[in-house]
C-alpha cells in the first residue's frame, strides 16, 4: 500500500525519493512535440490500409454477420 508506505517514511526520505524521481525525469531525452506528432501521423497512416475500423471487414470474414440468427429476448 503506497499510502501506508508514505506515512511510515520521514519527510527527509520522501524528499529524497522525490529528488531521485526528478533526476530520472530531467535526464529523459526530449523531442519537440511537432516531431512526435508527425511520427505518430506517419505511423497511423502507414497502418490505415489494414485497419478494419477504417476500411471495414468483409462480410465473409465478419463473425457477427451472416445467417447465424439474431438475439431473441423471451
Rounded to an integer, the average pLDDT of 58-68 is: 76
With a cut of 60, say whether residue 2 has pLDDT above it.
no
Q: What is the pLDDT of residues 10-31, one digit of tens each?
A: 999 999 999 999 999 999 988 8
Cell output for 48: 490505415
The residues, any chain, with a CB within 8 Å of residue 6's CB and separated by 6 or more, are 14
Q: What's the rounded Cα separation, in Å, for the pair 64 and 61?
A: 9
Amino acid at each position: 500500500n503506497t499510502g501506508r508506505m508514505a506515512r511510515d517514511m520521514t519527510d527527509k526520505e520522501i524528499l529524497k525519493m522525490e529528488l531521485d524521481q526528478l533526476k530520472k525525469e530531467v535526464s529523459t531525452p526530449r523531442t519537440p512535440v511537432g516531431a512526435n506528432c508527425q511520427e505518430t501521423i506517419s505511423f497511423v497512416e502507414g497502418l490505415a490500409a489494414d485497419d478494419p475500423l477504417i476500411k471495414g471487414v468483409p462480410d465473409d470474414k465478419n463473425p457477427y454477420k451472416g445467417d447465424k440468427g439474431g438475439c431473441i429476448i423471451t
